[in-house]
Amino acid sequence: GGVTLAKPPKNISLLDVLMAVDSRSVTLNRCLADDLSCDRSGFCAVHQRLTDVQEVMARELRAITFDRLVD
């Protein structure tokens, strides 16, 4: 039993795991995952701000690797 990692822990980010389990868990709003979900995404001021925050969150989650979580 148990689990074997396919990559070294330093090469697995928290973002990788969250995306594998449920990509919606790291998406702030439906319009960020699917532009067709909202007909205002192309000109919505909130959409662009959410996109900026989404990018920051993804960058931070990508920086958290499993080797750092074990310490």
Residues 6+ apart with CB under 8 A from 51: 32
Task: Quickly count: other Cβ atoms within 10 Å of residue 29's Cβ.
Answer: 15
Which two structure tokens, joined as six digits, stand for 48?
């662009």
Count the residues in the chain. 71
Going by C-alpha positions, the residue among 17, 46, 13 that lies closest to residue 32 is 46
Query: pLDDT higher for 59 or 24?
Result: 59
What predicted TM-score, i.e. pTM, was given to this entire model? 0.79
What pLDDT is attached to residue 71? 62
65 or 36: which carries more pLDDT confidence?
65
pLDDT at 37: 82
pLDDT given at position 54: 94
Predicted confidence (pLDDT) per residue in 38-71, tens digit: 888 778 888 889 999 999 999 999 999 999 988 6
